Amino acid sequence: EIVLTQSPDTLSVSPGERATLSCRASQRVRSNSLAWYQQRPGQAPRLLIFGTSNRGTGIPDRFSGSGSGTDFTLTISRLEPGDFAVYYCQQYGSTPWTFGPGTKVEIK
Amino acid sequence: DVHLVQSGGGPVNPGGSLRLSCAASGFTFGSYSMNWVRQAPGKGLECVSSISSIGSYVYYADSVKGRFTISRDNAKNSLYLQMTSLRAEDTAVYYCVRDETVTSWGIFDYWGQGTLVTVSS
């Protein structure tokens, strides 16, 4: 099973600034099959990024993903109020599909 | 618009059973794989079960294997999760989730509203 580690646990950022979130896998993620989800309090997760760098339907270009192999990054430029949430990475290259523990982005 | 409306859930005693349902609309249900993903209170996400578009392939996490059964009725655009021998550690919000399927399995592109299952005496 591929274990995903996310850092930092919590990221304090001011509105309008950039946030950079990291996801590291315990082994290579096949075909860079890595997704990112946003979960606001009391809501279901929402797909942001799949295939490492492809944005989901309706996701603004402020969200971008990069990386390969075992190291992946989600970048949120110009943070808006609705972006303060928990972000999860997930690998779907190997079963069982697994999620990281999440990074909370909070208002500084 | 894609909609996944869940029902079922609630409190149940340890060892008890419960059935979750998910009614899908806004897309051709029979063309997509579907999943159940759960989230224990204050915790992360776990995919507990998946089923292919015509039900020919199913997946269960080790944590629920032998206790949970996933099924679907494409004529009724519905997904189900039959849960038996429930344990305290099964307490979680359960989400019905569509699999993007076209690009790859395991991309969770639409989520239901979630339903809380509480296993406690």
* Model confidence pLDDT, tens digit, residues B56-72: 999 999 999 999 999 99
Task: In whole angstroms, give the CA distance from residue A64 to residue A49.
Answer: 7
Asked if B121 and B13 count as a contact pair (C-beta separation under 8 A), the reply is: yes
Residue of B nearest to A98 (CA): B46
- Give me the pLDDT at residue B56, please: 93
Residue B79 is encoded by which pair of tokens?
């997904």
Mean pLDDT of A49-76: 96
- Give me the pLDDT at residue B101, please: 78
Give B56 to chain A, closest Cα distance, Å: 17
Mean pLDDT of A80-98: 95
- Give me the pLDDT at residue B1, please: 94
Residue of A37, A47, A91, A104 to mutate, testing the B interface (most B Cβ within 10 Å of its Cβ): A47
Q: Measured between CB atoms, which of B46, B47, B112 is closest to A44?
A: B112
Strands A63-68 and A71-76: antiparallel
Asked if B65 and B57 count as a contact pair (C-beta separation under 8 A), the reply is: no
Q: Kindly list the residues from chain A whose CB atom is less than 8 angstroms away from the CB atom of residue B103.
A: 50-51
Inter-chain residue contact A96 with B114, CB threshold 8 Å: no
